[in-house]
Amino acid sequence: MSLLLFDVLLCGLLLALALASVLSRQLSHAVILYIAFGLLMALTWARLAAPDLALAEAAIGAGLTGALCFTALARQGKLAASPTLSWQQRCWPALFVLVTLFGLLLLVLQLPAKPGPLPALVMQQLAASGVSHPVTAVLLNFRSWDTLLELLVLLLALLGTLQVAPAPVYQSSWVLSRSWSQLLAPLIIVLAGYLLWAGAHQPGGAFQAGALLAAGAVVLKLNHQLNWLAWRNIWVRFFAIAGLTVFVAAVLTAWLLSGALAEPVWLRWPPELAKYIILLIEIFATLAIAITLTLLVVAEQPATPLSLARQEDDEAADG
Average pLDDT over residues 1-11: 82
What is the C-alpha separation between 140 and 90, in angstroms, rounded? 42
Contact 55, 203 (CB under 8 A): yes
Q: Which pLDDT band, with edges at 50, 70 and 90, does 81 fall under? A: low
Q: Specify the pLDDT at position 306.
A: 47
Quickly count: other Cβ atoms within 10 Å of residue 34's Cβ.
Answer: 21
Q: How confident is residue 304, by pLDDT bands cut at 50, 70 and 90?
A: very low
- Any residues with CB less than 8 A from the CB of 198 and at least 6 apart, and which? 204
**52: closest CA among 146, 138, 118?**
138
Cα–Cα dist 157/240, whole Å: 12
Ordered by start, the domain boundaries in the chain are: 1-111, 131-319
**pLDDT given for residue 87 in this prediction:** 66
Decide: 297 and 64 in contact? Cβ < 8 Å.
yes
Is the CB of residue 269 less than 8 Å from the CB of residue 225?
A: no
Percentage of the residues of the chain whose pLDDT score is greater than 90: 10
d(CA 257, CA 253): 6
- Name the band, by pLDDT with cuts 50, 70 and 90, for residue 133: confident
Q: Distance between CA 181 and CA 312 in Å, rounded? A: 17
> Which of 275, 241, 271, 244 minimizes the C-alpha distance to 258?
271
Which of 20, 39, 48, 71 is CA-nearest to residue 203?
Answer: 48
Listed ranges 15-19, 178-182, 218-222; the one with the highest mean pLDDT: 15-19
Please, what is the average pLDDT of the chain? 78
Name the least confident of 115-119, 127-131, 296-300, 309-313. 309-313
* Cβ–Cβ < 8 Å for 168, 237: no
The span from the CA of 299 to the CA of 285, in Å, is: 19
Q: Give backbone dihedrals phi and psi of 48, rounded to 5 degrees, phi first.
A: -90, 10
In a 3-state reduction of DSSP, which class is residue 302? coil
Please check the confidence at residue 161 and state whether its pLDDT lies above 50.
yes
Instruction: Please give the average per-residue pLDDT across 207-218, as a whole number.
Output: 84
Helices (H), the chain: 2-23, 27-47, 51-56, 65-75, 87-109, 118-124, 134-137, 144-164, 178-198, 206-222, 234-257, 274-298, 305-318
Is the per-residue pLDDT at 102 higher than 50?
yes
Q: What is the distance between the alpha carbons of residues 177 and 184, in angstroms, rounded to a whole number? A: 11
pLDDT on residue 239: 93
- Split at pLDDT 50, 70, 90, the class of 308 is very low
